[in-house]
Amino acid sequence: MSLDGTLLERILDKGYKVLTYSGQFDPTVVPLGVKDALEGLKWKGAEDFKKAPRIIWKVKDDVAGYARSSGGLTECSC
């Protein structure tokens, strides 16, 4: 993937669905860095994605992480 995100932008603009995942204990891809990178993308659904609510992701009654989705982009972090 290109370091500037243009490939991901083109994929999203073509209507493909993309799921990103990051974990709080992953030393190389931290959730805040992923959030910032995704919010910096320039694609036709970017503004809606930035406004999308972050929801709590649960497994049974335990909080497993958070997710938000809009257009074809879904971001999950735990």
> What's the pLDDT tens digit per position in 19-71?
999 988 888 888 888 899 999 999 999 999 999 999 999 999 999 999 999 99
One-letter amino acid for residue 52 of the chain: A
What CATH number is associated with residue 64?
3.40.50.11320
Residue 29 forms part of a structural domain: yes
Structure tokens at 62: 């335990």
Which pLDDT does position 1 carry in this prediction?
A: 45
Task: Provide the pLDDT for residue 3.
Answer: 61
- Over the stretch 6-15, which tens digit does the pLDDT of each residue have? 999 999 999 9
Q: Is the pLDDT of residue 2 over 60?
A: no
- Residue 18: inside a domain: yes
Number of structural domains in the chain:
1
Alpha helix segments (H runs only) across the chain: 6-13, 31-39, 46-51
Whether 1 is in a domain gets the answer: no
In a domain, 27, yes or no: yes
What is the rounded CA–CA span in Å between residue 69 and residue 10? Answer: 18
What is the CB neighbour count within 10 angstroms for residue 64? Answer: 12
Give residue 46's domain range: 6-77
